[in-house]
Amino acid sequence: MPKSPSTVTRLLPSEDDLAKLPASQRIRYRLVSADCRYHANDNISTHVRPGELDELKAEVQAKMHDVLQALVIDTESDHNTAETARRVAKMFLTEVFRGRYVAAPPITEFPNISRLNELMIVGPIKVRSACSHHLCPILGRVWIGIMPNEFSNLIGLSKYARICDWIMSRPQIQEEAVTMLANELQERVKPDGLAIVMEADHFCMHWRGVKDDESMMTNSVMRGAFLKDANLRREFLSLLSKKDLR
């Protein structure tokens, strides 16, 4: 027998009930209720309310302290690790994973009054991310090629770097990061063509596992004119080679 609306309402937690939960549980409840994915590389800022990032930092700090305890590290007498849990929590939430918890940076867009339609290349932009498998650093460079049209939105050069930082400051794999960056720029600039190349060192290979110091990963995304026009694609890639891709 289906539940009456009043019964369903009673089953839902009230704001007072939610307020008693840790911030991570409150945010997760909102995400699940809204049927929103919250993978490592997803931005969840619209579900985080003012003050909750500070609460999350306190939660992560406590959990990180437990991790240090499980590693049999005496954080009470070891002056080097006494504040490690707090530092790691702050680093995760406000620096290396910041792109998950804050809204996209404000970007001023300008109409293409001059009807520019020539190839533009921005880069190399230095980017920092983290491998979602081991939370090891990914350090690299990104080049962006734009083929605008008269209806494209033009953005300042520094804004490309801000968008890159926002997308990359999350745990993820490089292949997905480049695609997410392409989607964001395509939506904002609306060019005829978009090309992105990313080259990066993965410390999950350098620092652990195979411990290969030489390997790098390079991948690309081509959209619109860059995908259809082989000559344009070659021009973009040839210009990158002159900028010392390696």
- Class for domain 18-101, per CATH? mainly alpha
What is the signed CA dihedral for 74, 76, 82, 85, rounded to 10 degrees?
Answer: 70
Residues 83 and 76: their CA atoms lie apart, in Å, by 9
What is the tens place of the pLDDT at every residue in 79-92? 999 999 999 999 99
* pLDDT > 70 fraction of the chain, expressed in percent and rounded: 90
**Confidence check: pLDDT of 137 > 70:** yes
Q: How far apart are CA 242 and CA 240, in angstroms?
A: 5
CB proximity list for 141: less than 8 A, separation 6 or greater: 123, 124, 125, 126, 127, 198, 199, 200
Task: Measure the CA–CA gap between 47 and 76, rounded to whole angstroms.
Answer: 36
Where in the chain are the domains?
18-101, 109-241
pLDDT tens, 178-195? 999 999 999 988 899 999
pLDDT score, position 205 = 86
End-to-end CA distance of the chain: give it in Å, rounded. 66
Q: Is the pLDDT of residue 222 over 90?
A: yes
> Please, what CATH class does the domain formed by 109-241 belong to?
alpha beta
pLDDT digits (tens, 9 = 90+) for 27-49: 999 999 999 999 999 999 999 99
List Cα–Cα distances, 216 to 140, 144, 202, 211, 238, in angstroms.
Answer: 9, 19, 7, 12, 20
Taking CA atoms, 170 is separated from 43, 128, 166, 228, in Å, by 9, 9, 8, 31
